[in-house]
Structure 1
Amino acid sequence: MARINLTAVDVTFRIFDAGQRSFTRHLLPGTRAEKGLEIAALSAITLVLEPGSRIALLGPNSSGKTTMLRVMAGLVPPLRGTASIHGRPGAVFSIGFGALPEASLADLAYAQGLLMGVPPALARAKVDEILDFAEIRSQAKCPAHVAPPGVLSRLGTAAALCLNADILLFDEVLDNMDPHFHGKLETAIAERIDSGAILVMAERSRGLLSRFCSEALLLCDGQLSARGPLDAILRDGGASLTF
């Protein structure tokens, strides 16, 4: 059964400029230049998400939404605190396929399964089902770098659903899809939620969030500033921070 338990999670990124990375850093080890600039992406995040949760992740740009989703996906380990993730995550990010530009859409469907921890034979067997759900079977051999963003978004969400992800994590990928696909997606997500899955999504469209989610987490400067019913969070300030 899906469950997410974050306890006092801190995530910090270290940023170097070109000089720090290439010259100053190596000539003067131990100096301030070597250490770079530390950016706190998430601070003291504590929350529990139970099976059936449908969460909208709200907050302004650089508030930590993408980092939060990456922690929930098991892609970014906390610097401090603990992240206990029960269930198989299926994460789809708006820039998620940039590392495989020459791969075909069929290859990406297979790769998504491997990234989710699905056995290779099952991932391969599910490729046609994923392409059919995404309505892109005729484009199976199309290279990823020429595919429109909406096609890549449909492919990613289709893979997460067809491979029965327990934790659905979507980062601003629904808004660039054809509206007719949202109904199909809504039905499939509801089936996964009824089976005990968890949905967490960040989107700019209030309409999409209201359609798919019932609860909200509001992030500000990497901290969890509010949690509650989506309508209440939007009414009390979330809307001004997100849309």
Structure 2
Amino acid sequence: MPTTKHPQGAEIAMRSHTNFDLDYAFIFPQSPVDVVSSQVISGMIPTSSSFKPMEQASNVPTPKPTKPTCSVAAEPTNRLAFPLATDMDAENLSPYQCYLREQIELFETEKDDMAIKAQGRNTPIQLGQVGIRCRHCAPFARSNRVTNGAHQFSMSVNGVYKVALKMGRLHFRDCPMLPEKVKKRLLELKQLPRKRGRGREYWKETLEVQGLVEDHRCLRFKPCPWPGQG
């Protein structure tokens, strides 16, 4: 079958057909899905039963799923925890705060977490309340191996910024689960000149995007429907 190279790199394959003088199939390697779009080749696809649509090239990368913008719990007993850090941290925060956030995760308390003693906290922890914790201590959250300050709770979204810095100052200094190289890196970054960023404002905005809401002097995850539920 004769072929002609298109100036833009596309390959034009000319095929003869009993019902058509010439059929042109434009094949763009960079986007095979566009080839079968009716908007691109409207009226140019043969109607013969012998015509087979092109298969998508195997080397085309599959788009990565986007991160959810709010927490999702299918049932009340389905507890959640996910990283505090986001992809936009480096553009808005100092290197120290970026690295600190990578060591912390948001979590929703369940019944077994009620006995957690949060440093400096007098009010009892509520079921379903959201706090922050050291992600290195998380597997041992209910054991005696966790040092003070491994869990922190704020009464407001804006206050998470303060308790997270407190965790970095007190807990990570003595955390037995924190790898030495991480501890050393935190100390090094803390000594760097402070980068002028959005700080507390950025923390508050990202937490709200992650679905955190204030509820009677504690924080909770805002209910979010599964995709397709509206």
Q: Is TM (by shorter chain) over 0.5?
A: no
| Higher normalized contact order (CA 8 Å, seq sep 6+, divided by chain length) | 1
Larger radius of gyration between Structure 1 and Structure 2: 2
Greater per-residue strand proportion:
1
